[in-house]
Structure 1
Amino acid sequence: MTDSSLKTQGKRHIILFCLMTGAFWFSQYAYIPQLTKYASQIGASMQTIGLISGAYGLSQVLLRVPLGLYSDYIGKRKIFVLTGVSMTVVSPLLVLLAPSPETLIVARFFSGVAAATWVNITVMFSEYFKSSESTKAIGIINSTNRFGQLTAFIVGGIVVAAFSVRAAFALSVAMGAVALVIAFKLKETGVKDARKATFRFKDILQLYKNRRLVSVSLLGLLSQLITFSTVYSFTPLLATELGAESFHLNLFNILFMLPQILFAALAGTVIRDRFGEKATLSAGFALVTVSCILTPFLNHYVQLFPVMFISGIGNSLSFPLLMGIAIKDVELAYKSSAMGFYQSVYAIGMTIGPILIGMVSGRFGLTAGFMAVGSIGLVALVAIHMPAAGISGKQSPSAKA
């Protein structure tokens, strides 16, 4: 096979992978803007809503490290990708068949199982690129991720307005099936034998002692804690109290996601190269934190539109960059293990964040809940600039060369 045909084959697999990823995240997010409102309508309390949202992160905390380790050990990625995509069909199907607060907890746990395989998805995709291009690969796959979510919010909103919230769950099942069909066509890179030969469990302990991996993972935890406590859990409830309808809830999420399609790809390349990792992360966390603190003081849902857009910019500057940094200098044999560790740690934030704000809001009100989460963003801003974090500043031209 000629070099040009190999290059064409590579592009084809990248395109297929992006299509699968978009459909995967479409399925995961088609009903999300309506989830907490729907849970409340079928009888869930504030605390139960926190558990429903937290269940999504819990399964990821439990599974992401084992999935990464075992994937590296057997030298395969695709089987895990197929398993994860299958769960995007199972999760919403459960809600359709037996809607209840308890079913929502179980369904979101299975949805988290699907999301746990994101570790295998991102690493499999990054292996289509050179090791030095890991942040570029992560930027591309994250942009595809965000595009799938954005499309889900738009189409899901139309479906809910035309039919019902249950129709959004049916749409989720359908798109999960599409993703599964495409996933079967994906190709692994063919380096599994070399990867398996060099994999040693004793080296994993040294990997997990890597200061930068640990610090970046903790920052990812704080980032996801803020996002899943607010945007994907209690901001929709606050918006409803301010008079927002189902259409507005989807529009909020669209505005949150829209800047991420552009900035997710740029944060790990152009913006990072221009301003450095530390400044880029600081700007991202600052925007997210300010948005979080402002939210409970708004007195009309229309004011949430610019706040959600600004929060989306902040998230896109920080989160994809953290993911790229996590595996940037890790050997091929251990990339899934490193990514599994990173994603498992940040999933803790996805779990405890909604539960935390649910407990605080249930006792002291939503304003207190948002302020508690906003204070965590301030902690992250301080942590970025601590030497122990290992986050690099702007490089000089000579250092880049």
Structure 2
Amino acid sequence: MSGNKAVAYKGPGVVEVIDVDYPTFELKDGPGVNPANVGRKVPHGVILRTVATNICGSDQHMVRGRTTAPTDLVLGHEITGEVVEVGSDVEFIKVGDICSVPFNISCGRCRNCKERKTGICLNVNPDRPGSAYGYVDMGGWVGGQAEYVLVPYADWNLLKFPDRDQALEKMLDLTMLSDIFPTGFHGAVTAGVTVGSTVYIAGAGPVGLAAATSAHLLGAAVVIVGDMNADRLAQARTFGCETIDLSQGDPGSQIEQLLGIPEVDCAVDAVGFEAKGHGHGAGEAPATVLNSLMDITAAGGAMGIPGLYVTGDPGGIDAAAQKGALSLSLGTGWAKSLSFTTGQCPVMKYNRGLMMAILHDKVSIAKNVNAKAISLLDAPRGYAEFDAGAATKYVLNPNGYLN
């Protein structure tokens, strides 16, 4: 093998499909690769032919130029693939297996991995705990919006689907296991969602809709989704969510109209650092969601925060925001004894259980997030439409597995 097409970041607002090297069992130098990782041997890895790889809102932050991502970084951390080569140290995963790839890269050997904290593995990123494919400052592991991709620590990282034909039939659902479904579920779990809960989810993008789906799966009594995008709010209503339009003002008064009180038991931030203020024509105000959730979450409640926050944002509205320092009303959270959970979702904590829910028809995540398969060559169009607010989860189909 020698060829491999991939989606690369070419500068703010621009992605292109380019030719890159076919992966090998050694990390090579390239855009975003940590120098300490260059030459790293990966006999414990496999090479996948990509079955499906999704465009994520986290990718959009980079493509908008809102991170320090370098030009020509190959994108993509939501990966499902068929094993075509196995490294010499791989024991259980075999050629022909179709597997979901957690977006967190983890070794399975460090203290954090052994404690199921796979989002902050200590051995895969020389700069800091935690790593991911195709993402800025995450160690330089090449992204999976490509025809082929290398996955390290394969016996540990890969979730093998039990039946090939069933997996291909349900692939639009199963491809969500690499990130957004576990991430949304993690947001709901860490917010304390349980049977009978009232839940507010800020953001009706794919992660917000996955969190709403998860809240229903966990038994919530009422799931309310807030956004300014009418099409995305309409998508939330297709599977039983209540919705509020934040262009009309802050969420508290609108929640009161639905519940009789201006608060909920549990809240999820599925927006992150590019948040806008509330009200018509509101501009960017990155602390808006976090502060509003503290206002509307009942005393003693919890907030799940899967929305992305960064330490380097060249487009931040001020010097503080550019380094991730936001003006939070922490006193409100303290006075109400609220709990907060932030950071990467530890995908392996949830993905097998969610896989079983999909395979046994307990949930239709692809339908709920309005998944749509497009070709790899159509990736630039998918990025542009998603950035413009399309109520769609774009799934790239690099090798023709999807109808």
**TM-score band, normalised by the shorter chain?**
under 0.3
Query: Is the strand fraction higher in 1 or 2?
Result: 2
Query: Is the helix fraction higher in 1 or 2?
Result: 1
Normalising to structure 1: TM-score of the pair? 0.26
Normalising to structure 2: TM-score of the pair? 0.26
